[in-house]
Structure 1
Amino acid sequence: MKKTQATILIIDDQEEILIASKLLLKKQFETILTCSDPKKIPQLFIEQEINVVLMDMNYRTGYEDGKEGIFWLKEINRIQPSVKIILMTSFGHVETAVEGLKLGAVDYLLKPWNNEKLVDLIKDAVKQERKSKQTTKQPKKDLFLGESIAVQKIYKIANKIALTDATVLILGENGTGKTVLAKDIHLKSKRKDDIFVHVDLGSLNENLFESELFGYTKGAFTDAKNDTIGRFESANNGTIFLDEIGNLPLHLQAKLLQVIQNKEITRLGESKPRKIDVRIITATNSNLEEDVKKGAFREDLFYRINTISLNMPNLSARKEDIIPLIHYFIDIFSNKYDLDIPYIDDELLNQLEHYEWNGNIREVQNRIERAVILAENNQITLDNLGFDTLIPLKKEETIRTLSDIEKQKIVERLHFHQWNISKTAEDLGISRAALYRKMEKYTISNTAS
């Protein structure tokens, strides 16, 4: 019998399940991988091209609520959106499996399973995965870091920080790219093959802070029906990113300080601490130094999370990134919605470069997504972007051609470096030859201004 050319990953903490399912499926499919520890999932996806995942929803004795399965379902969808996931569960936990279907799983299977049904489900999932690859472009996954001098300086520091386990505080207004910077530090660290857990403290109900971060035991409060791990435990061996750290209540600031100092957490309703190994990155759009003076943020915690601080500039302070960012999001959303890449003319780009962008990168993202979807005749217009007939510009801002802007930038950096061609080319991020060509194009000489 000819085997189906596909790689199937089976994830379950019970060795007998892994053995039995592998023996059954290796007769039908070319490659069968097994995994008993879900924390190895990110590395497996780096090493292998996986088509279908057969995944249990619970991984430790006594934890039967399926939350771990839901968590890893989301992670797999984030890592490789094209993969098809089949969930395994017991009869009493079908509701959680149904929740998994809503989040993207293609089906679920009750334990103990019928062998024939299991094989049929996986064969069908393989067909779905192949069909989706044929009809849908895969989204671009590279992070947009930025080309401006201001941002490159930040990422140069971040590259050094990434190699350590130092705590990092990222500052900046909403939408400036703090999450992207945190992910980049994680991906360049020794923990890159482990999990990155993003916790938005600004969106959590204050009553849920402690249980969400540190977990809880059965009976710790009215609705605590099972022992549940918190975000810190789920990030063990990886990185936890605490976004909007300024929203953390004072009583939990003391608890977070203990976590950093002692490298252990205590679940709600439990007295015995649990050891953890987590790299902590935090971010905020508020002034923590002012909060410390007001007594709203602990001074000792501020210095603990602030071993290194990085301040992400507003988009208006890194104008060189605006046009590359626009093209980046055009590519992203054209791929996401399986649309042809629309054209955007230089005149409109020039206007967009001089727009204020008070919402920073997030506003660019939202406007470009809208424009890609609404573009007619494969061209982006002001109306597609959600503007009226004219884009509101910064006060006293005038529209110049892109050539004028480039020429002014080159002259400015030449003067700054006292006409040292090598230093100016390095500053501009181009070769010496390219700089000479541009100087000739714009008739720039040592007497030019």
Structure 2
Amino acid sequence: MPEHTILIVEDERNLRRVMAAWLEEEGFATRAAENAEDALEQFARNGADLVVTDHRLGSGRNGLDLMHALKAEHPDLPVIIVTAYGNVEHAVEAMKAGADHYLTKPVEEADLVALVRNLLNRSGHALPTQQPEQNFGIVGESQAISELLHTVELVAPAPSTVQITGESGTGKELVAHALHTASPRANEPFVAVNCAALPAELIESELFGYEKGAFTGAHQSRPGKFEEAGKGTLFLDEVGEMPLAMQVKLLRALQEREITRLGSHRPQPLNARLVTATNRDLARDAEEGRFREDLYYRLNVIPLHLPPLRDRVEDIPLLARHFLEQFAHQLGRNPPALTGEALSILQSYPWPGNIRELQNVLERTVVMTRGDTIGPDDLPSTLSSPPASGKADFTTHHLPTIERQVVIDAMEKTNWNQSRAAVLLGISRKQLRTKMKNLGLLGSEGDEEPEGGSGSLPSD
């Protein structure tokens, strides 16, 4: 594998040497320069695959000047700008000017290595292979998953904020749990909050807590999620749905590293590590004013991206086996095996709902299949005629269709006997009839199924 070269531009000699040592231990070659002029000369002679440069370089040109000079000739060259601690304004300036990412001082080894690998991987470079020691319950052997797991191991010990991006159903909360489990905070609380599920008027009290009498109905004091997380991890899911007014308060809490309950004037230290997740393009939302730009950069210190399932089809056999074993165990059965034809169907389908959709499909298939194998006929017919776009939100758009198909399949397998179909589905007959009514599957003959137990399927 070709060796990748990182050019480190830093006027502090010790930091220059330390960063070089960190990257060389990871398998990269390094070159170092103490100012912009030296860096340009070195790049002209030897080139580099990525540049890490301090924003301030003493006398002469600064890091942004160097970046502009390099990108004028090599626009695709990844550049990381290092800024003073807490100076988000410089970070925002650097990113707007064309930097690919930023780091704040004091630089953490894990952050530097993770960002270098992240940017080189995104640029299509074959990286030095690093086998993760654990999988943290994340199933897969693809290059994307191996890189993700290695990054989790790298950044978990650091206190840095991590932002996880990816489509719905890709397993963002599972990765947040992995970051917590692999960190020194593993014995502290892991607290998850879905920002999209909280009404705008309640989100501040949920996160920061409140004192008795702070508002109507506050009959007793209550800690918020930041306090509940303590020295552990606070996971903010769907952070892109947070109202703008609340974004300001979250930004202030992160800047000052303290929180204050509603109705109180006593600030408390913010000790939790923050991990956020979103399926939105927050960079675009920030550009268009739907998300605070300064908060975006505060949250996006270490970015982790989960690829959609359609981009890691080599993991589908492992995932399928995992889910089949899991659901069969719950039912007290031996896990059925997938035939080659069935596996081919699973690998050909675009999975717009990602892993969550695959999990739902296989759970339903295990429940409905009594044999030792699962063939093409045992899978939902929707898998053979996928939706036109692989990017639809399956979980919100298609679940009623799948539920309807599950009920129909159960009825067909029991010759339209509602009582037997209910047993097959693991629900009561009354629950089945309620589902059938809601799905438009009850005939017009009345509430009771005909003598002999078979019912009728209404025409669509």
Does 376-385 or 264-273 show the bigger shift? Answer: 376-385
- Match for residue 332 of structure 2 among 334, 338, 341: 338
2:197 aligns to what? 203
2:147 is the alignment partner of 1:153: yes
Distance 1:208 1:338 in 2: 43
2:279 is the alignment partner of 1:285: yes
Sort the Cα spacing of 1:349 and 1:394 in 2 relative to 1 into closer, same or farther, 3 A: farther
8 Å Cα contact 2:136-2:178 kept in structure 1: no
8 Å Cα contact 2:139-2:319 kept in structure 1: no
Distance 1:182 1:252 in 2: 22
Sort the Cα spacing of 1:154 and 1:388 in 2 relative to 1 into closer, same or farther, 3 A: closer
Tell me the percent identity: 42
Question: How big is the shift at 1:205?
Answer: 1.6
1:354 aligns to what? 348
2:266 aligns to what? 272
What's the C-alpha RMSD, in Å, of the aligned pairs?
A: 2.1
- Match for residue 318 of structure 2 among 319, 324, 332: 324
Distance 1:303 1:382 in 2: 47
Distance 1:390 1:320 in 2: 19
1:15-67 Cα distance to aligned partner (Å, 9 max, x none):
xxxxxxxxxxxxxxxxxxxxxxxxxxxxxxxxxxxxxxxxxxxxxxxxxxxxx
Question: How big is the shift at 1:382?
Answer: 4.4
1:299 aligns to what? 293
1:374-430 Cα distance to aligned partner (Å, 9 max, x none):
2122433445443259454989xxxxxxxxxxxxxxxxxxxxxxxxxxxxxxxxxxx
Distance 2:144 2:385 in 1: 26
Distance 2:201 2:373 in 1: 48
* Partner SS, residue 192 of structure 2: strand
2:174 is the alignment partner of 1:184: no
Counting matched residue pairs gives 255
* TM-score in terms of structure 2 length: 0.53
* TM-score in terms of structure 1 length: 0.54
Question: How big is the shift at 1:344?
Answer: 1.8
Matches within 5 A, 1:195-274: 195-274=189-268
Alignment-mate amino acid for residue 208 of structure 1: L
Question: How big is the shift at 1:182?
Answer: 1.1
* Partner SS, residue 199 of structure 1: strand
8 Å Cα contact 1:216-1:270 kept in structure 2: yes
Matches within 5 A, 1:82-93: none
Question: How big is the shift at 1:337?
Answer: 3.1
Alignment-mate amino acid for residue 150 of structure 1: A
2:349 is the alignment partner of 1:365: no
Alignment-mate amino acid for residue 241 of structure 1: F
8 Å Cα contact 2:349-2:384 kept in structure 1: no
1:288-343 Cα distance to aligned partner (Å, 9 max, x none):
11111122211111111111111111111111111111111111212233332122
Q: Which ranges of structure 2 fall in alignment gaps of 5 or more residues?
A: 1-134, 390-460
Question: Runs ≥4 in structure 1, deviation > 6 angstroms?
Answer: none
Distance 1:209 1:389 in 2: 39
Sort the Cα spacing of 1:322 and 1:158 in 2 relative to 1 into closer, same or farther, 3 A: same
Alignment-mate amino acid for residue 340 of structure 2: D
Alignment-mate amino acid for residue 257 of structure 2: K
Distance 1:300 1:389 in 2: 43
8 Å Cα contact 2:346-2:383 kept in structure 1: no
8 Å Cα contact 2:193-2:237 kept in structure 1: yes
Alignment-mate amino acid for residue 234 of structure 1: E
Alignment-mate amino acid for residue 338 of structure 2: I
* Partner SS, residue 289 of structure 1: helix
8 Å Cα contact 2:161-2:274 kept in structure 1: yes
1:322-371 Cα distance to aligned partner (Å, 9 max, x none):
11111111112122333321222121111111111111011011111111
* Partner SS, residue 334 of structure 2: coil
8 Å Cα contact 1:211-1:268 kept in structure 2: yes
* Partner SS, residue 202 of structure 2: helix
Matches within 5 A, 1:376-415: 376-382=370-376, 384-387=378-381, 390=384, 392=386
Question: How big is the shift at 1:242?
Answer: 0.5
Sort the Cα spacing of 1:143 and 1:239 in 2 relative to 1 into closer, same or farther, 3 A: same
Distance 1:213 1:337 in 2: 39
Question: How big is the shift at 1:145?
Answer: 3.6
Distance 2:236 2:384 in 1: 39
8 Å Cα contact 1:370-1:384 kept in structure 2: no
Sort the Cα spacing of 1:279 and 1:145 in 2 relative to 1 into closer, same or farther, 3 A: farther
Sort the Cα spacing of 1:392 and 1:303 in 2 relative to 1 into closer, same or farther, 3 A: closer
* Partner SS, residue 363 of structure 1: helix
Does 381-390 or 224-233 show the bigger shift? Answer: 381-390
* Partner SS, residue 169 of structure 1: strand
1:60 aligns to what? none
